[in-house]
Structure 1
Amino acid sequence: MDLIIRNAKLRKQKDPVDIGIREGKIAAVETKIEAQGTKEIDVGGKLVTPPFIDPHLHLDAVLSVGDPRYNMSGTLLEGIQIWGERKPGLTKEIIKKNAIEAIKWEVANGTLKIRTHADVCDPRLITVEALLEVKEEVKEIADLQVVAFPQDGVYAYKNGDKLMEEALKMGADVVGGIPHNELTREDGVKSIEYVFELAKKYDRLIDVHCDETGDDQSRFIEVMAKYTIINEMQGLVTASHTTSMHNFNNDYAFKLIGILKRAEMNMITNPFDNSVLQNRTDGYPRRRGHTRVDEMSARGVNVSIGHDSIMDPWYPLGKGSMLQAANLLLHMAHLSGYDQIYQLYDMITDNSAKTLNIQEKYGIEAGKPADMIVLNASDEMDAIRLMSECLYVIKNGRIVASTQPAKSEVTLHGVCEHIDFLIKK
């Protein structure tokens, strides 16, 4: 064995196991591996899981907050305006530098699989070119999927449809869209039809920004579900955001969720951006700016969590932590039920693997790629509660990141005690 992880606590298993790795693959998962490894790590019962997945990120915009100005209203529309002001001065070098730095942040936090959107509404298509180059340059630490994303609209932007197709010819992995940003509902529907046409033509997955608004009349999600069914693309289509669903009347939402399940659509919620950008015009009381995570999950719809933005015109904070995103969604979506907390962990691991259509190569099983993380936690609840550090991040059997946890001590009555924020049993 090249590497053996000893005394690993796996999800949904009571007793610790050893994980043996050889030539970048998981060779064995056993109660006790008798062989010796070239390198061994005894994790002492810490939680070991497949890596986190970020299924929704905008690497072309990361780390650009304040350039050329700050989003003072905090709205989605002002963020789009600022991005439009920044685009003419963008260079491939700037995009790549910021994207690679943000990827390193995500890797340090345990994320090894990322789906990034690349804005195609620029005749130069430098975002696509840059992120495809980044995909190749970072492959030893992270796997990327690149989405051809029409930020300004397929038809609301001149030659947007042609730029979409050109991005796919360049090598983009996924077809994107943004129907609610088209000039009319008719154009929005037309753009969805075009997205499916391209996906079929180039054999690509689909991931559309859909109904990212508080407007309860924005219902492009039903159009996406229809075309998923009639094109027999169940499991291959994703709708991101769908925040308008929060404001739908409940009878319609109930019917819709049944259709989403029939279509086997993947849904991505983005708690950082959705929590600050949506329902800005509400006054008080303010509705929550996220989709119906609990209702969809309860009815078997695949829901995953994306980071979306890291310090850009739409969201000024963030450090690339999917545990932080899950923690925020727990609060925003009323997901504090015991079982729901563990489901949140699914939303940043297994559910996202299904969204990216990489289930066959994901998981801690013999024969699969040796991609895994060791968390400074004993279970998923503590990982989310503490937003635990990733002690080790392993890709293809190689340690690509490690973290030394902060050490906290409190002195009471002259006695110094180490504080680990765990309940003493």
Structure 2
Amino acid sequence: MKMIIRNAHIGEDKELKDIFIENGKIIKIGKIEEKAEIEIDADGKLVSPPFVDPHVHLDAVLTVGDPQYNISGTLWEGIEIWSKRKLKLTHEDVKKRAKEALKWAVAQGILKVRTHVDVCDPELTALKAMVEVKQEMRELVDVQIVSFPQEGIVSFPDGENLMRKSLEIGADIVGGIPHYEFSRDDGIKSIDIIMDLAKSFDKDIDVHIDETDDDQSRFVEYLAAKTIKENYFGRVTASHITAMHSYNNAYAYKLMSVFKKAQLNVIANPLDNIALQGRFDNYPIRRGMTRIKELLKSGINVGLGHDSVMDPWYPLGRYNMLQVAFMALNVGHMTGYNEINEIFDAITYNSAKLMNLSDYGIKEGNKADLIILNAPSKIEAIRLRSEVLYVIKNGNIIAKTTPAKSYVNDEEISFRVIGIYE
């Protein structure tokens, strides 16, 4: 099957180009003279590699209000509610909700997902279900599964053994949550266990870490140092690190130098981080999101995750990565022209890098996974939270969206200003 996308904006290149696709691969980018069975006129719109969500909890999606709503809006009440909801989990329940959320994701241009799945369950119900979901949805979306001990590795009964079993069953990544362990010693021990498991199974690491407003929560320091000592460069990701927002500047900048040496990846989750952190503050209330701007300036790879979709921790969301990017650039004081483009990269190339995705990007020879947005540029895509008109995977159109139209006194209006951000 041959496909040609004509008149496409690719990245920041101002020149419109054609993209020739055959047998699931990008064959040529430039001026294409020949014809194809399928031709799409992008008409100057942005063609991008697909969005990447490196941090979501698909086992918990679409459970908001069951068995109760989170009245305080806090992380801790969310965990308490989830512990109750977890008792009701069934294999089919997890699969049904996860598949529905993944369809939302695909329709909005997300084709690469890393999901953290709670393994603090003797039956590993959610983990087993997600292994099946990953296989059954593979024609639409590529999924990585993190073995995530929501209630701790050391603090939860038989936690280490459950982690090991989950990796044997099919988890791809070793997770953790050291700041939630009963004590600092337990948190440190959990990181040692995480590294041992990762090396034993030859897996990457992605840890929920220092997701708190406590400026004395500094497990990420130990994780980075451990990464260096164990020669695990580039294979470790620190998710959240919201405590970093509260670290004094001298310590934070020293820490970033260690991150860089360890080639540590960082994931911020703007929607959840902003909603959940700062709950113990009066005024001023801390923002609670890690230092995205400073981390990027330091040369550290930063990705952005959606984290929650209508669950006990975040009651909103429609699984849209442009919404995530919009929140990040506003809260992170990243509204400079170049900074907005950097934020777009955080939901595409940066996240693809930390997920070790090969064949990613609009490049000759790469897999033909791409999206066409209803906007001419990265900045306009974020500003408008634009529709994804076409979603293409392996050279096949798997999703389409028809954009809405607005009228004032029967006159159709556009929210674009011609000549700006094109």
Q: Name stretches of at least 5 consecutive residues in structure 1 with no aligned partner.
A: none
Q: Name stretches of at least 5 consecutive residues in structure 2 with no aligned partner.
A: none
SS in 2 for 1:361: coil
How do residues 304-343 of structure 1 correspond to structure 2 at under 5 angstroms? 304-343=303-342
How do residues 47-196 of structure 1 correspond to structure 2 at under 5 angstroms? 47-196=46-195
Q: Distance in 2 between matches of 1:87 and 1:320?
A: 22
Structure 2 partner of 1:8: 8
SS in 2 for 1:35: coil
Deviations 1:181-219 (A, max 9, x none): 101101101100110111111010100000000000000
Structure 1 partner of 2:200: 201
Deviations 1:26-78 (A, max 9, x none): 11111x11121111111111000100000000000000000000000000000
How do residues 147-296 of structure 1 correspond to structure 2 at under 5 angstroms? 147-296=146-295
SS in 2 for 1:96: helix
Counterpart selection for 1:379 from 372, 377, 393:
377
Q: Distance in 1 between matches of 2:321 and 2:418?
A: 27
Q: Distance in 1 between matches of 2:112 and 2:258?
A: 29
Paired AA for residue 367 in structure 2: P
Paired AA for residue 6 in structure 1: R
Q: Distance in 2 between matches of 1:325 and 1:142?
A: 19
Structure 2 partner of 1:403: 401
Q: Distance in 2 between matches of 1:89 and 1:418?
A: 49
Q: CA RMSD in A?
A: 0.8
Paired AA for residue 380 in structure 2: D
Paired AA for residue 351 in structure 2: S
Structure 1 partner of 2:413: 419
Q: Percent identity?
A: 55
Q: Distance in 2 between matches of 1:420 and 1:369?
A: 34
**How many residues are paired up?**
419
Q: CA deviation at 1:424?
A: 3.6
SS in 2 for 1:9: strand
Deviations 1:249-307 (A, max 9, x none): 11100100111111111100001100110110001110111101111111101011000
Deviations 1:347-372 (A, max 9, x none): 000000111011x3101111111000
Counterpart selection for 2:359 from 352, 358, 361:
361
Paired AA for residue 381 in structure 2: A
Counterpart selection for 2:391 from 372, 390, 393:
393
Q: CA deviation at 1:12?
A: 2.0
TM-score with structure 1 setting the length: 0.98
Paired AA for residue 10 in structure 2: L
SS in 1 for 2:10: coil
TM-score with structure 2 setting the length: 0.98
Deviations 1:97-134 (A, max 9, x none): 00000000011110000000110000000111000100
Q: Distance in 1 between matches of 2:336 and 2:14?
A: 21
Runs of 4+ in structure 1 displaced over 3 angstroms?
none
Contact 2:12-2:377 at 8 Å conserved across structures = no
Deviations 1:119-154 (A, max 9, x none): 000000011100010000100110000000000000
Q: Distance in 1 between matches of 2:331 and 2:90?
A: 37
SS in 2 for 1:290: coil
SS in 2 for 1:368: coil
Q: Distance in 1 between matches of 2:3 and 2:321?
A: 26
Q: Distance in 2 between matches of 1:239 and 1:249?
A: 19
Q: Distance in 2 between matches of 1:107 and 1:231?
A: 37
Deviations 1:303-361 (A, max 9, x none): 11000000000000000000000001111111111111000001000000111011x31
Structure 2 partner of 1:18: 18
Contact 2:118-2:127 at 8 Å conserved across structures = yes
Paired AA for residue 101 in structure 2: A
SS in 2 for 1:41: strand
Contact 2:8-2:47 at 8 Å conserved across structures = yes
Q: CA deviation at 1:5?
A: 0.6
Q: Distance in 2 between matches of 1:212 and 1:424?
A: 42
Q: CA deviation at 1:25?
A: 1.0
Paired AA for residue 390 in structure 1: V
Contact 2:4-2:18 at 8 Å conserved across structures = yes
Q: Distance in 1 between matches of 2:141 and 2:16?
A: 27
Q: Distance in 1 between matches of 2:197 and 2:418?
A: 57
Q: Distance in 1 between matches of 2:236 and 2:126?
A: 23
Q: Distance in 2 between matches of 1:9 and 1:305?
A: 23
Q: Distance in 1 between matches of 2:280 and 2:349?
A: 35
